[in-house]
Chain A
Amino acid sequence: MSPARQLEADSLTEIEQDALAEIANMGVSRAANNLRQMVGEQVLLSVPSVKIVTREKASKLVERNNASKLVAVQQSFAGPFSGRALLIFPEAQSLELVRSIVGDQHSLEDVIDLEQEALAETGNIILNGCLATIANVLHRTMRMSLPSIVRGDGATLFEIEGPDSGGQFVLFLYIDFNIKKRDVHGFIALLMDLPSIAALKEIVNDFISAIEKQPSGHVG
């Protein structure tokens, strides 16, 4: 990584961090609302966190408080900035999540049969809700890939096994969610690489200056 890139990563100002967290919050709130509709139960969210960290650090953050066996639905996005969005939860809870979506009337065999399928579609609905909201807020368009499912530890999910990629800096946005009545909790994470961060910074600054021009200054 060039020193210039490094500097860029470090130079996210406080207002930029705030704006990003707020934009992420809008996206994730939409995602949580989608999840709530799908499971028919309340979904609790943590305060979103925005960090510039190495991929390795990001992978450790998702393992925190979690079993190291994780399952994730991931979707790549591309546009003025690009990266990956992941819906992550402990693998042991994936059947419970699927059951909460397809309904308790299905047998365990049915649920196991539907697992991959249901995870992919759930991820698709949740992550699309999040990314589309962010795109709309920023007045930009993003293309999203089909969802795919990854199983493994944090390192597998964030692809840090490649040469040097573990030390690569990424913008890491994450939020915890918790389905109140079920034993299901997880993360929604957005991972962006550094060239994207530069583009994102510019867009976020457009967003900030548009807000400053509004008389009420209301964001959320």
Chain B
Amino acid sequence: MQYKVLIVDDSKLARMVMGSAFRRIRPDWSLVETANADEALAAISSSAVDIALIDFNMPGIDGLELVARIRKTHPGMPVAVVSANVQNEIIGRARDLNAGFIPKPLTDDALAAFLSGAALRLKKMAP
């Protein structure tokens, strides 16, 4: 099964890093990139996004607030907050929103583990 993954990060460099790791791990899945929460919400409502990887520290709506908004319409979507802000409080808030947490700098192992878990969850949810 191939899935569509959304990357949300205001940093172009961070999107490049995530994108290249993603293509190494899941070369057959597709990728959508956005630079902020508004673009991300638009992408989710207009295209069939399956999984989202979301930066925390962004101008405007931050990553956790974005996850909260996504949860209103997509309670089961596999989502991870990707951040160097490894404060227990941030990780706890991600968990409360039923989202994963992937620390920056991003490693292939951490991303691969999250994507495998996400694929499994989507398979279970599929009718």
| Nearest CB of chain A from residue B15's CB, rounded to whole Å | 10
**In this assembly, does A156 line the interface, its C-beta being within 8 Å of a C-beta of chain B?**
no
Tell whether, in the assembled complex, residue B84 and residue A120 are in contact, meaning their CB atoms are under 8 Å apart.
no
CA distance A136 to B83 in the complex (A): 15
Residues of B within 8 Å of A129, CB to CB, are: 84, 86
Quick check: which of B6-14, B25-33, B63-71, B112-120 contacts chain A, the rest being far away? B6-14
- From B58, B59, B86, give the contact of A136 (CB < 8 A): B86
CA distance A188 to B109 in the complex (A): 28
Tell whether, in the assembled complex, residue B87 and residue A132 are in contact, meaning their CB atoms are under 8 Å apart.
yes
| Shortest Cβ distance from B90 into A: residue | A132
Tell whether, in the assembled complex, residue A141 and residue B87 are in contact, meaning their CB atoms are under 8 Å apart.
yes
CA distance A120 to B14 in the complex (A): 10
Tell whether, in the assembled complex, residue B57 and residue A144 are in contact, meaning their CB atoms are under 8 Å apart.
yes
Tell whether, in the assembled complex, residue A136 and residue B88 are in contact, meaning their CB atoms are under 8 Å apart.
yes
- From A37, A102, A132, give the contact of B85 (CB < 8 A): A132
**In this assembly, does B45 line the interface, its C-beta being within 8 Å of a C-beta of chain A?**
no
Tell whether, in the assembled complex, residue B12 and residue A114 are in contact, meaning their CB atoms are under 8 Å apart.
yes
| Nearest CB of chain B from residue A33's CB, rounded to whole Å | 9
Residues of B within 8 Å of A135, CB to CB, are: 87, 89
Residues of A within 8 Å of B10, CB to CB, are: 146
CA distance A121 to B17 in the complex (A): 11
CA distance A121 to B55 in the complex (A): 11
Q: Which residues of B contact A (CB under 8 A)?
A: 10-14, 16, 57-59, 83-90, 104-105, 107
Given contacts A34-B104, A144-B57, could you give 18 more A-B pairs where the C-beta distance is less than 8 Å?
A37-B107, A38-B105, A101-B13, A117-B13, A120-B11, A121-B11, A121-B13, A124-B11, A124-B84, A125-B105, A128-B57, A129-B84, A129-B86, A132-B85, A133-B86, A136-B87, A142-B87, A146-B57
Q: Which residues of A contact B (CB under 8 A)?
A: 34, 37-38, 101-102, 114, 117-118, 120-122, 124-126, 128-129, 131-133, 135-136, 141-142, 144, 146
6 interchain residue pairs of minimum CB distance: A128-B84, A125-B84, A121-B11, A132-B87, A121-B13, A37-B105
